[in-house]
Amino acid sequence: MSDHQPPHRELPETSSTTGNKGITRRGFLKGAGITAAGTALLDGVQSLQQEAQAATPKGVMEYGAEAFPVTLNINGKEHALHVETRTTLAEALRIGLGMTGTKISCDRGACSSCTVWLDKLPVNSCMTLAVDAIGHRVTTIEGLSTDSEVHPVQAAFVRHDAMQCGFCTPGMVMSCAALIERNPHPTERDVRVAISGNLCRCGTYPKVFAATLDAAGQHATKA
C-alpha cells in the first residue's frame, strides 16, 4: 500500500492471532466445541464485527459508494483522480485520465481489448477495479512508446499490417509485448496462447503472429 493514498476510512488495527480480549475467528472456533451457543448469545453482533475486523489485514481501506480521491501509478507517473469503488481501471484510464488508447469492447473480460499491464502482468482493465490498481505499476499502450520511439512489437505491427480497423490493436500489442518481455524467443504457438483472450473481429490474427515473431529479440525502432 502506497503511503500517499488518502485513506477513506482506515480501520483500527486488529491482530488476527493474538486478540485475547476480542473473540477472533480462530479463538471462536477453538472454543466452539464447548461454548459455541453461549458465546454466540453473549457476544452477538459485537463478535461478528470483531470477526470482520480480525479478518481484515493490516492497512486495508474501506470505501463508501461516493467517488473519492486516489493516486494511481501509470506509465511511471503518479496520477491523482477521483473514482468510485465500482469504477473499473479501464474507465478510470479512459474517462478519469483521458488515456483512451485502452479500449472497452465487451466490458466483461471476454475480448481483452482493454489489456494493460499490472506490474508487467497483462490484465483486463475492464475486470480490474481502479482501487485494486492502487500500489501497482500500471502500464498502458500510451506507456509503450514515446514520441520518437515505439516498442518493437508496435513497429512490427505496422510493418506486417497486423491491424485493420485497429480497435483491438492496443490490447493485442499489450499482450504480445508482454509475451516478448517474458519470453524473448516465442514460437507461433506461444503467440497464439498469449493472445488467446484477444478477439479481433477483422480477423488479423495471422499477421499478429508474424509481427510478434518478427519483433522478438529486436531493438526499439527509431521513429
Partner 1 sequence: MATHTPHSTLDALINVAGDTTDASMKTAKMPIGIPGFTLHEEERTVPASEPPVWPINKDLSYVGKPQERWDGRAKATGRARYTADVQLPGMLYARFVNSTVPHARVLSIDTSAAESYPGVKSVHVIEKLLGGAVLRDPTLEQNRYPIVRYVGQPIAAVAATTPQAAEDAAAKIKVKYETLPFVVDMDQAREKDSPQVFPGAADQAGTAGGGGSSASGVPQTGNVHGPAVHKQGDVEQGFKDADVIVDAHYTTQVQTHSALETHGVVADWKPDLLTVYASTQGTASVREELAAYFQLPMSKVRVITEFMGGGFGAKFGAGNPGVVAATLSRKAGAPVRLMLDRQEEHLSVGNRPSSDQRLRIGAKKDGTITAIQLISFGTAGCGTGAGCAGPASNLYKWATLHVEENDVFINAGPAAAFRAPGHPQGAFALEQSIDELAASLNMDLLDLRDRIDENPVRRVQRQIIRESAIWKSRNPRANADVGPIKRGIGLSQSVWYRHLAMDSAAEVRVHKDGSVEVLSAVQDIGSGIKTVLAQILAEQFGVPPAQVEVKIGDTNYPVGPNSGGSVTTASLTPAVRDAAWQAAQKFLASVAPALGVKASDLTLTDGMVRSASGKFQPIAFRSAAARMDTNQVSAQSRRIPDYDPRKYDTYGGVDVAEVAVDTETGRIHVKHVLAVHDCGRPMNPVAVISQINGGVIQGISYTLFEHRLLDPNYGIMVNSNLDKYKIAGSYEVPKIEVQLTESYIGQSSTDASGIGEAAGIISAGAAIANAFYNATGVRIRQMPMTPAVVLAALNQPKPQMEAL
x-marked contacts with partner 1 along 56-95 as a string, rule CB under 8 A:
----------------------------x-xx---x--xx
> Does the protein bind partner 1 through residue 210 (CB under 8 A)?
no
Tell which one of 14, 133, 140, 152 touches partner 1 (CB under 8 A): 140
* Residue 150 to residue 160: CA distance in whole angstroms: 15
Distance separating alpha carbons of residues 156 and 218, to the nearest angstrom? 10
Q: Which residue(s) pair with 116 in the sheet? A: 123
Q: Running DSSP on this structure, what letter comes out for residue 67?
A: -
Residues 43, 100, 134, 220: which binds partner 1 (CB under 8 A)? 100
Nearer to partner 1, 54 or 72 (CB): 72
Angle at alpha carbon of residue 177, lines to 176 and 182, rounded to 5°: 100
104 binds partner 1 (CB under 8 A): yes
Member of 26, 42, 158, 183 binding partner 1 (CB under 8 A): 158
For residue 174, report the phi and psi dihedrals to the nearest 5 degrees: -65, -40
Residue 55 near partner 1 by CB under 8 A: no
User: 68 with 87: CB under 8 angstroms?
Assistant: no
40 binds partner 1 (CB under 8 A): no
3-class state of residue 132 by DSSP: helix
85: its cell numbers: 469503488
Size of the site for partner 1 (CB under 8 A): 59
User: What DSSP state is assigned to residue 73?
Assistant: E
Q: Where along the sequence are the contacts to partner 1 (CB under 8 A)? A: 84, 86-87, 91, 94-95, 98, 100-111, 113, 140-142, 144-145, 150, 154-155, 157-159, 161, 163-170, 173, 191-193, 195-209
